[in-house]
Amino acid sequence: MSYYYWQIGGWQSHVVPLPGNIPRDPAEIAERLFRYASEDGVLTLTLGIQPNGASYLLLHDNGEVHPEVRAVLRGRGHGQARFVSLSPVTFVAPGALVAKLNLHAQKYKKNKKRGNAPDCDRSQANTHYTSGGEPLEVLSVAGLRRASFEYHRVFYRLCRGSIDPTEHGIQRVPWLDNIRARSFAYNTHIAGHARHYDERKKDPRILDVGVAEWILPGGSIDLTVERSNYFTIKSILTNPNKGQYLFGEATQASEAEISAHLKECFKHEDGAPIILFVNDAEEALDVLSYYGVDTRSWTTHLEPVIGRPVLRVRERYSERHEPKQEDRYGGPRGRSNSYYGGNKVKSERSRSPQRRGNSYQRARSPLHREEPSVIVVDVPGLYETMKSCPPTKDTLIKIAEHLQVKLPDSNGKFMPNNGTGWCAGNECRLLAYIWRALVEGNALDQQFVEVKAQYEAATASGAGRAVAAPVQPPVDDDDVDPNDVVPAPGAGSSGQGYTNPYDSGDEDYEAW
């Protein structure tokens, strides 16, 4: 089978232009491509993400291209090696594809003649990723994060058997069916957050711990919780607004008992990898290490699970964008808060666990020849990548509301709410369901557009809150939940709910 892809629209498109080098009407392209739509009218193309983070719509050359489509395509197409990720992207109507193609239309400077193409991608969709001047083949932080998001989408579809691995540059590893999943959440004493990071690492002052074991989706099997445990720790310390555990009774345990349970939970005796859902990979690993769990061989990279080499941002690039420090694995990295203009020590509310920024996007361990032991998934990090924003201040409950995620009870019926207040027992379940909502959805840019449209529709209708939109609504002071109060964004961090990746802010350019 061919591993070449025609690029549909955008910079250096394979679509043959009209005489005078005039781009074809996106409506014409959409009409031709929708000949590939399924019986229910959905068109599936391939999204290719390049190392710098720019994305492109691709049509796979499978030898069965419709003549009316092939007639407007030139050349052989790009090889798989040009892209760091290849994943499915769907369009439910020609208008959605037209809108996407318009975002990839090239811009030209006002003082240049129309038809003179820019020397790099200057579209609304990709200027944000191409304007830094880095060569196309240099992996950027944005490229790593965006590709990683798509890896989770193809992994989910690989588990369900709904994707052709070779068409998307991945492999079905022999131990895929044996992969297990866990989720881990905890809450710490809110007054202790003002302490220095090193002090909090030695004594995190844990109030409760939630851990769940999951059956990953496969075929007709949905994501299912196999067993879960919720532990509270007897302590004179507490936080206001403790939530009710929605799935039975909590177990009061000593830290030694919790340590023993966690060590047993993360045993790797049978060689089957574990996918671990957490909130802030770095701090979650610190807490697990505090409980005596050996995390030295763990990784945040999903690539080995789908048969791809581990992606790494070159140190030269990292140094230019992040302060160089040493991470817990001995490699150079930037402290998350510093990357977004904050500092190491800051006061935050109790949540499970605290967000401290950029941990999702850092390489942590080398590619293993054998299957990795534990792959740590920073779930809110995926959410931030979809939103194209700095680390969110949203609670897991708030993120679940934005994505319209509801916790099912033991009978599979959705609960009216996901609980209120802090409770690691509820939060460890929310982590897995939020992950599923993100990865079963559309490709990240289309998912952003769909969520943004829901938000704008709710705002236009006068609804006080857009449930599915990643924006927190204003609230009256009398209605403020003390546990939901978060500090103001640090310098360099936007307090806005949306950061539109398509808004280049370049007044000197006009769309074709």
Please answer whether residues 36 and 67 qualify as being in contact, where contact means their C-beta atoms are separated by less than 8 angstroms: no
pLDDT of residue 449: 80
Please compute the mean of the pLDDT values over residues 429-458 and round it to a whole number: 87
Distance CA(103)–CA(100), nearest Å, equals 5
Write out the H or E segment, with its range, that includes residue 90: strand 85-91
Residue 158: alpha-carbon gap to chain centroid: 17
Mean pLDDT of the chain: 76
| pLDDT above 50 for 92 | yes
pLDDT of residue 108 exceeding 70 = no
- Give the C-alpha separation, 36 to 29, whole Å: 12
Fold classification of 170-474 is Nucleotidyltransferase; domain 5 (3.30.420)
Cα–Cα distance for residue pair 159/151, rounded to 1 Å? 12
Residue 44 has pLDDT above 90, yes or no: yes
The structure's pTM equals 0.79
- The neighbour count for residue 483, using CB atoms within 10 Å, is 21
All residues at 6 or more sequence positions from 368 whose CB lies less than 8 Å from its CB, including other chains: 299, 304
| Length of the chain counted residue by residue | 512
Domain boundary assignment for the chain: 4-138, 170-474
Which pair of structure tokens corresponds to residue 283? Answer: 């701090």
Helix residue ranges, H only, 217-254: none
Mode of pairing for the β-strands spanning 206-215 and 180-188: antiparallel
**pLDDT band at residue 298 using 50, 70 and 90 as cut-offs:** very high
Average the pLDDT over 465-470 and give the result. Answer: 34
Q: Which of 152, 121, 123 shows the shortest CA–CA distance to 12?
A: 121
- Residue 461's pLDDT band, with cuts at 50, 70 and 90, is low
Please state which of the ranges 20-24, 42-46, 188-192, 327-331 shows the lowest mean pLDDT.
Answer: 327-331
Residue 334 confidence (pLDDT) above 80: no
- Taking the C-alpha atoms of residue 416 and residue 378, their distance in angstroms, rounded to an integer, is 26
More confident residue, 419 or 510: 419
- Provide the β-strand partners of residue 378: 278
CA angle (247 as vertex; 244, 249 as ends), nearest 5: 70
What was the pLDDT predicted at 230? 96
Q: Percent of the chain at pLDDT above 90?
A: 41
Taking residues 287-300, what's their average pLDDT?
94
Specify burial of residue 103 (Cβ count, 10 A radius: 0-12, 13-18, 19+).
Answer: buried
Q: Is the pLDDT of residue 347 over 70?
A: no
β-pair partners for 463: none
pLDDT band at 174 (very low <50, low <70, confident <90, very high): confident
Give ∠ CA 470-473-475 in degrees, rounded to 5: 150
Per-residue pLDDT tens digits for 377-405: 999 999 999 988 777 678 898 888 888 88
Q: Yes or no: say if 282 and 436 are a contact pair by the CB < 8 Å rule.
A: no
Cα separation, 442 vs 454, whole angstroms:
14
Alpha-carbon distance of 5 to 170, in angstroms, equals: 15
Q: What is the rounded distance in angstroms from the CA atom of residue 319 to the CA atom of residue 239?
A: 39
Q: Is 50 exceeded by the pLDDT of residue 468?
A: no
E-strand spans in 298-456?
Answer: 325-326, 332-333, 374-378
